[in-house]
Amino acid sequence: MVRSTSTEPSAGSPANPIPLPKEKKFLMRYYRGERLPSPMGGYLDVLGIREGDGGLGRVLFECNVSSLRFVLMIPRATRTETEKVKKLLEAGEDLTCPRHGPFHRLSKVGKAWVCPLCGVAYGKGG
Ligand SMILES: [Zn+2]
């Protein structure tokens, strides 16, 4: 499952976090703000959230039992989500994350509106 070669940093090291499965139930738990169970037992603590390529989000975790690093890729915004954010923007209302709910505001990063918890860009402008 986890490949490692002599030329790459070992899987689970800070330079080479292990990708978590892109399972919907996993993402749903993350959006609800729940702690995610670690594949190694124990739980995953959030270390940081980055913007990935092309509007993706990347959440970095550390397993509290093994100290291995994991990364969860958050799918980019759907057309429905960007349209929802665009409407809020046009109406002059607070922009909130379509996945995290009405209590999580989007932050302006450059020209994009990004959820600080997903790392996903949901819209541009404003
Ligand atoms: Zn979010």
pLDDT of 2 > 80? The answer is: no
Separation of CA 122 and ligand 1 centre (Å)? 9
Find the 52 Cα to ligand 1 centroid distance in Å. Answer: 14
Task: Dump pLDDT digits (tens) for 86-124.
Answer: 999 999 999 999 999 999 999 998 999 999 999 999 998
d(CA 72, CA 63): 13
pTM: 0.85
Average pLDDT of the segment spanning 15-31: 92
Q: Count of CB atoms within 10 A of residue 14's CB?
A: 12
Cα–ligand 1 centroid distance for 7 (angstroms): 35
Sheet holding 18-19, edge to edge: 18-19, 69-74, 57-63, 43-51, 36-37
CA 28 to centroid of ligand 1, rounded, Å: 11
pLDDT digits (tens, 9 = 90+) for 50-90: 987 788 999 999 999 999 999 999 999 999 999 999 999 99
